[in-house]
Structure 1
């Protein structure tokens, strides 16, 4: 897993990890606020918004990686199919990570909504 972090690019993978930590912290905060029944709790739809931010940042990371790869291919002239496939695989790491963050956000929101209706 740590290898994927560095292969995907520390800048975007670091930003996505911070978004993931913010997502989990927000979910825990909302759950604790609901458990103690305090007013002023954050709305649950913030979780999906944070997840969408992670997805968009992941896609942005992929597009910037593809742009750099295509610039390198343009300078080299011709590239083997294996090298092109490897570049596409590496550029998709940030998008996959962003998608995982979004899926987790939707699941957390669904779970918190479900527990709220059960009370």
Structure 2
């Protein structure tokens, strides 16, 4: 299964929201890198990176819960359900939280690396 299939199976709406949050975190990181290169040292706006990553995890967990509720409703309405189908649905339900956690991990790395770089440069200039 390639990444596009996982994106589609995981739910394009929620995976798309998480992708937008990842782009926000990465965009703010790039903006801060540009500011550091231009010798503009400010922590303002840096928290957006961490916020985007945190919301990505929350959206991933929310998507998983919604998916599991829908799956349980379908199982309840069906007369006979194969364990393989249930297991396959359970596996799919983990795609969005995994994606959200990956975005969170990278956003934390971006945040703390950039924060330390900016603090060190601010201390050096004072």
TM-score scaled by length of structure 2: 0.85
Match of residue 108 from structure 1: 110
The CA deviation string for residues 85-109 of structure 1, in whole angstroms up to 9 with x for no partner, is: 1101101100000000000110101
**Greater C-alpha Rg:** 2
Whether contact under 8 Å (1:33, 1:41) holds in the other structure is: no
Structure 2 CA distance for aligned equivalents of residues 41 and 106 of structure 1: 15
The CA deviation string for residues 44-97 of structure 1, in whole angstroms up to 9 with x for no partner, is: 222111100111011111111111101100100342221111101101100000
Question: 6-15 or 36-45, which moves further after superposition?
Answer: 36-45
Computed over aligned residues only, the root mean square deviation of the Cα atoms, in angstroms, reads: 1.7
Structure 2 CA distance for aligned equivalents of residues 34 and 43 of structure 1: 13
Structure 1 CA distance for aligned equivalents of residues 43 and 116 of structure 2: 16
How many aligned residue pairs are there?
119
Gaps in structure 1 of 5+ consecutive residues: none
Structure 1 CA distance for aligned equivalents of residues 10 and 45 of structure 2: 32
